[in-house]
């Protein structure tokens, strides 16, 4: 019995997602002795998440709208496997009130906040009203009822430039464009709408005043059915490319106790005002230039810095492992317990932080080509190991990296007693990483970690863009033709002789189907011997 509500034990959990987050949730299921059910598209049938589950259901073709974004297919899979709960992970339908409602109507436990709360916080207008009523400062913005190009142009004119055009239905940097003046608006609207429809199935757009040089700091919260709310402190998320985080850390460096208290208290007020339940994250812009014209650079330790509510993510965040590292609390365990009807497993006094954690997101992408996603088959993939190193991944050697889905391959998390040691461990982990078959951003991540501003902890959301040219110099190697090196290195990799740090790409940008090719069906061979293939 917990706070007047019976604890409902989850017996079989369907994970309505793919990749590293699905694998991570399955690990929690094994630890809690919950049976896991994976779903996969036809291109993912041999993906690690499909193999890691106790059961797996193929739900449709590779296109997300016909598989991972198909509510009907997901509910059918849950019924087919007699699952009693659904965890949405992040992305896809994780912030869809329709998905949450469909689960409840089907008699399934939804591991997340109620559908009406998701809808309320997903509406930028309603979320702003809630925050203002709760005394939480907000960034000026508008979701115009007229979603035509003319309607968005009028909303932008009223708001003033510079501004952001954003997807109303989701986050993660997708469907987001910075607009410096009216001449850039039409193209930004077109691109944002296209990305929003592809990623979230909803092309509704929101325009928001753009603060300059702020820090992006978020607070992890957890709430239960009885109204209990706790925060698990903050994460610094200012290192971003195209408004998507690529390096996060906790605690945020150079944050005074007064400013930390302002942020965590505002996050708790926001959570309570929304009637929230389960895990969530309240995002803030800190510092920057105030829309009224005054404010502070976000990299200063200033108790009077501007703090503005950005949004509340009604799901588990990609970067949740760094919070788990510094607090020692398992957020997925807590999600499943609270979804099953249990009260919060900790009080606020129970939650303390220790040490420092840094997360690097490893993407299959070409930084020198505008961060274009890369696709192909992973010829070899080896993860780093060592003290304080955690890797959450959804790939393995032979995995197909498809252009249909988000390009995130893995997350490298480094934890240590001090920030300097955590940075050093992250750099060593990246140097140990082996990826063959697609290009990644590993070199870029390594260079960021060595930059003086990053090492000193003085970064803001403009940092990466302002330093990008320097980061990208010769990031792809010196050779014009990598194919001979790829062939040799791939052979050595399969024979166990590849050196750590290999980052060669083969078949760059090529969508790979499911052939019975040598990479999938043969073991290692020796150079100079007959292959048997003619």
- Chain-wide mean pLDDT for the chain? 87
277-304 pLDDT tens trace:
999 999 999 986 544 444 444 444 466 7
Both tokens assigned to 400: 């197909």
Q: For residue 382, give the DSSP letter.
A: E
Using alpha carbons, select from 238, 172, 296 the residue that is nearest to residue 451: 238
Asked whether the beta carbons of 354 and 326 are under 8 A apart, the reply is yes
pTM: 0.82
Looking at residue 455, its pLDDT comes to 98
Residue 531 has pLDDT above 50, yes or no: no
How far apart CA 108 and CA 103 sit, in angstroms, is 5
pLDDT of residue 209: 86
Q: What pLDDT is recorded for position 163? A: 92
Instruction: Give me the pLDDT at residue 298, please.
Output: 44
**Burial call 316-334: b when 16+ CB within 10 Å, e when fewer:** bbbbbbbbbbbbebbbbeb
pLDDT band at 500 (very low <50, low <70, confident <90, very high): low
3-class secondary structure, 450 = helix
Residue 528 above 90 pLDDT? no
pLDDT at 496: 54
Query: What local confidence, expressed as pLDDT, does residue 356 receive?
Result: 99
Burial status of residue 429 (CB atoms within 10 A of its CB: 0-12, 13-18, 19 or more): buried
Checking if the pLDDT of 409 tops 90, the result is yes
Residue 465 has pLDDT above 80, yes or no: yes
Contact (Cβ atoms closer than 8 angstroms) between residue 339 and residue 112: yes
| Strand-strand pairing, 55-60 and 141-142 | unpaired
- In angstroms, the CA 122 to CA 168 distance is 7
> pLDDT category, 419, cuts 50, 70, 90?
very high
In order, the DSSP letters of 280-307 are EEEEEEEEEE-TTS-EE-TTS--TT--E
Which domains occur in the chain, in start order? 12-111 (3.40.50.20), 140-209 (3.30.1490.20), 214-350 (3.30.470.20), 358-521 (3.30.470.20)
More confident residue, 469 or 526: 469
pLDDT band at 524, cuts 50/70/90?
very low
| CA distances, 518 to each of 377, 439, 503, 508 (Å) | 12, 21, 21, 18
Q: What integer pLDDT is reported at residue 172 of this predicted model?
A: 64
- Listed range (85-99, 166-180, 501-515) with the worst mean pLDDT: 501-515
pLDDT band at 128 (very low <50, low <70, confident <90, very high): confident
pLDDT at 54: 98
The structure tokens listed for 214 are 């702020």
Number of alpha carbons in the 13 Å side-chain half-sphere of residue 230: 17
In this prediction, residue 290 carries a pLDDT of: 44
Residue 383: what are its φ and ψ, rounded to 5°?
Answer: -95, 150
Give the model confidence (pLDDT) of 145-163 as tens digits: 999 999 999 999 998 999 9
pLDDT the model gives residue 140? 81
Q: Is pLDDT above 70 for 504?
A: no
Q: What is the pLDDT of residues 198-231, one digit of tens each?
A: 888 889 998 988 888 899 999 999 999 999 999 9
Choose among 283, 432, 414: nearest CA to 360. 414
Please give the span between the terminal C-alpha atoms of the chain, in angstroms, as a whole number. 68
d(CA 35, CA 273) in angstroms, rounded, equals: 35
The pLDDT of residue 302 is 63
Please list, in sequence order, all residues whose beta carbon lies within 8 angstroms of the beta carbon of residue 150, skipping any fewer than 6 positions away. Answer: none
User: The tokens of 392 are what?
Assistant: 């959450």
Can you spell out the DSSP letters for 343-357? PPSS-GGG----SEE
- Range with the poorest average pLDDT among 140-154, 320-334, 358-372: 140-154
Q: By the 8 A CB rule, do 88 and 111 touch?
A: yes
Contact 249, 236 (CB under 8 A): yes
- Rounded CA-CA distance 408/392 in Å is 11
Predicted local confidence at residue 412, as pLDDT = 99
């Amino acid at each position: 019995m917990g706070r007047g509500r019976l604890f409902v034990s989850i017996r079989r959990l369907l994970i309505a997602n793919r990749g590293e987050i699905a694998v991570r949730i399955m690990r929690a299921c094994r630890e809690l002795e919950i049976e896991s059910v994976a779903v996969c598209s036809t291109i993912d049938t041999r993906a690690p998440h499909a193999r890691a589950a106790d059961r797996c259901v193929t739900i449709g073709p590779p296109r997300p709208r016909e598989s991972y974004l198909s509510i009907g297919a997901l509910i059918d899979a849950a019924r087919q496997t007699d699952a009693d709960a659904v965890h949405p992970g992040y992305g896809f339908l994780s912030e869809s009130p329709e998905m949450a409602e469909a689960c409840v109507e089907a008699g399934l436990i939804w591991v997340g906040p109620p559908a009406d709360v998701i809808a309320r916080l997903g509406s930028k207008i309603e979320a702003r009203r809630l925050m203002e009523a709760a005394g939480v400062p907000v960034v000026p913005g508008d979701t115009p009822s007229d979603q035509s190009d003319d309607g968005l142009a009028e909303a932008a004119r009223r708001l003033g430039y510079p501004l952001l055009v954003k997807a109303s239905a989701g986050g993660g940097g997708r469907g987001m464009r910075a607009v410096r003046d009216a001449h850039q608006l039409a193209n930004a609207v077109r691109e944002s709408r296209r990305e929003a429809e592809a990623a979230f199935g909803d092309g509704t757009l929101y325009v928001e005043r753009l603060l300059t040089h702020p820090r992006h700091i978020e607070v992890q919260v957890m709430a239960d059915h009885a109204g209990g709310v706790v925060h698990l402190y903050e994460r610094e998320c200012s290192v971003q490319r195209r408004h998507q985080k690529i390096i996060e850390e906790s605690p945020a460096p150079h944050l005074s106790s007064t400013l930390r208290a302002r942020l965590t208290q505002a996050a708790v007020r926001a959570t309570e005002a929304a009637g929230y339940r389960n895990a969530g994250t309240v995002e803030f812009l800190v510092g920057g230039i105030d829309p009224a014209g005054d404010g502070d650079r976000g990299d200063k330790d200033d108790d009077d810095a501007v703090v503005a509510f950005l949004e509340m993510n009604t799901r588990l965040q990609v970067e949740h492992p760094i919070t788990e590292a510094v607090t020692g609390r398992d957020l997925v365990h807590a999600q499943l317990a609270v979804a099953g009807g249990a009260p919060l497993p900790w009080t606020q006094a129970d939650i303390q932080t220790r040490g420092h954690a840094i997360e690097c997101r490893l993407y299959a992408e070409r930084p020198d080509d505008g961060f274009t996603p890369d696709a192909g088959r992973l010829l070899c993939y080896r993860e780093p190991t060592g003290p304080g190193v955690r890797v959450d991944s959804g790939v393995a050697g032979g995995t197909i990296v498809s252009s249909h889905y988000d390009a995130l391959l893995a997350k490298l998390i480094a934890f240590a007693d001090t920030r300097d040691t955590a940075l050093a461990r992250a750099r060593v982990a990246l140097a140990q990483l082996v990826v063959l078959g697609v290009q990644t951003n590993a070199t870029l991540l390594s260079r960021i970690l060595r930059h003086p501003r990053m090492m000193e902890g003085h970064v803001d959301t403009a940092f990466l863009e302002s330093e990008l040219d320097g980061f990208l110099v010769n990031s792809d190697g010196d050779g014009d033709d990598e194919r001979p090196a790829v062939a040799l290195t791939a052979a050595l990799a399969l024979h166990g002789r590849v050196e750590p740090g290999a980052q060669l790409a083969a078949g760059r940008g090529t969508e790979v189907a499911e052939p019975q090719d040598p990479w999938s069906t043969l073991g290692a061979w020796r150079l100079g011997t007959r292959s048997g293939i003619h």
